Chains A and B, each alone.
Chain A
């Protein structure tokens, strides 16, 4: 079965729902696969736990939520603790190395780099940390091509910020490749 399950998790306001939407859009609109994105979040406008789930498949997708996660992004320690339990053996865990100090144990591959700091210092704006993370997830999961994912990013962000997001996406992609080498 080709079903592939991703979860983007962290705090509300980190842009993880947006990152999930762009991943699913890349798969569904640009890659020609099936994709469903769903989310759960608390009543707070900011803060509180937030997660965005994406299922990608060659076949129609029934259950829209994660059953056994193939790839998990955790942008907070809390998210890493809470969501790594259903990560598949051989799955991928991507964490922000500044924020997740205790790497949860398990038979999966952990990739760590300072995601928020990459956005802040290398790209120039902390607000695009979600796109840095997305670039990394695209590189680590191989579910959509780099080109299609970039198209999805550029069609989803405001025109004035195309270059910023393009840079964030590339930086995330390259850092993930380097960190997993």
Chain B
């Protein structure tokens, strides 16, 4: 039997990816350029007995998905820059209370309401540092419609596996672009279930680390009663200021990601084997970079691309290795140098890092990258 294909937008693909992953609860507040996700979820969730709620605002939507997740649902919200800012308080709550959820944020021009219909990549730092305090951060930056579908599934899996919020951040171009998508069969892509308690309700503690760094999470309404708070907490979920407990808990929460970087970080290496010039790109910009690298190769320049698929945790190890041999790095991005800073942190002065930064709502075209490649040469 041939597989089902469709001609879809990135946002539509994201919604179908969420449904494949078992998402059965969506709460959101419509905002360009992410509204299509809410549209699809509002049509599809009722058909499978799921729930769709349009909340009064973005923080309300974030609160709703955290609550639903604690009641056992697999949850999604979608938004864009200004909405992401409003959600940040409760994203931190999700991190400390260790609640699995997926936040799909389409990057548009900012700050504030900025340029609603213009593409941008300027939310990548907000994905890690937007909510205050030390916390784990996972952020995926897909570059095609098919990949958006698949990365949303992976986001659900990571959120369950590590019991933490996960962000998927396409730029507006990827989110609104249409391409052919081939749907996987049921069972073809792994769907990770939530780890639930093996102990009876009276013995259950929501943060019992004797089960490892990621303790099982019970669902409210199944007989398990437990306390959830945004305060630093003890294994039973009640607040504490006990120094050694707080220190250990904070470290554990961050360690869930830090100790599993190799499991989480994904990337693509394109023509890097003999590359002297490495273009580091992500999202739609990587498509310009691929075009540019091919054009440079045609002119006899040894250029290659490192494509970031997982922006957080950042592929530190891979960039450090590339810095040992590369003559120069080029970082095209639709912001004023957010990824370039991370590259410089890893390259540590071993090679020049040249940025191509665009915040005018226009995509970075391949010619700009080719010109920059020649500059290094």
Which residues on A are within 8 Å of B, measured CB to CB? 21, 24-25, 28-29, 34-43, 62-65, 67
| B291 contact set on A, CB distance < 8 A | 62-63, 67
Cβ-defined contact, A28 with B176, below 8 A? no
| B294 contact set on A, CB distance < 8 A | 62
Cβ-defined contact, B117 with A43, below 8 A? yes
Q: Nearest chain A CB to B281's CB is how many angstroms away? A: 11
- Given A42-B117, A63-B366, A67-B365, decide whether A28 and B288 contact each other with a Cβ distance below 8 A: no
The verdict on B1 contacting chain A, using a C-beta distance below 8 Å, is no
Cβ-defined contact, B117 with A64, below 8 A? no
| A35 contact set on B, CB distance < 8 A | 7, 179-180
Q: Taking A37-B178, A38-B173, A38-B178 as given, write out 16 further A-B residue pairs in contact, using a Cβ cutoff of 8 Å, ordered by the A residue number.
A: A21-B7, A21-B178, A25-B7, A28-B7, A29-B180, A34-B180, A35-B7, A43-B116, A43-B117, A62-B291, A63-B290, A63-B366, A64-B173, A65-B363, A67-B291, A67-B366
Cβ-defined contact, B179 with A62, below 8 A? no
A-B contact pairs, 26 of them (CB 8 A): A24-B7, A25-B7, A25-B178, A29-B5, A29-B6, A34-B180, A35-B7, A35-B180, A36-B177, A37-B177, A38-B173, A38-B178, A39-B176, A40-B118, A42-B117, A43-B116, A43-B117, A62-B288, A62-B290, A62-B291, A63-B290, A64-B284, A65-B173, A65-B363, A67-B291, A67-B367
7 closest Cβ contacts across the A-B interface?
Answer: A62-B290, A63-B291, A37-B178, A25-B7, A28-B180, A62-B291, A62-B287
Q: How many B residues are at the interface, by size bracket?
A: 20 to 34
Chain A facing B: main interface SS: mixed
Cβ-defined contact, B7 with A63, below 8 A? no
Q: Which one of A24, A37, A62 has the greatest number of beta carbons of chain B within 10 Å?
A: A62
| B116 contact set on A, CB distance < 8 A | 43
| A62 contact set on B, CB distance < 8 A | 287-288, 290-291, 294
Which residues 323-373 in B have Cβ within 8 Å of A in the complex?
A: 363, 365-367
Q: Nearest chain A CB to B149's CB is how many angstroms away? A: 15
| A40 contact set on B, CB distance < 8 A | 117-118
Alpha-carbon distance A28/B117, docked complex (angstroms): 26
Alpha-carbon distance A63/B290, docked complex (angstroms): 8
Alpha-carbon distance A21/B32, docked complex (angstroms): 19
Which of A28, A42, A43, A67 is B179 in contact with, Cβ under 8 Å? Answer: A28
Alpha-carbon distance A36/B32, docked complex (angstroms): 21
- Given A63-B365, A63-B366, A65-B365, decide whether A38 and B176 contact each other with a Cβ distance below 8 A: yes
Contact flags (1/0) for B240-271 with A, using CB distance below 8 Å? Answer: 00000000000000000000000000000000
| B363 contact set on A, CB distance < 8 A | 65
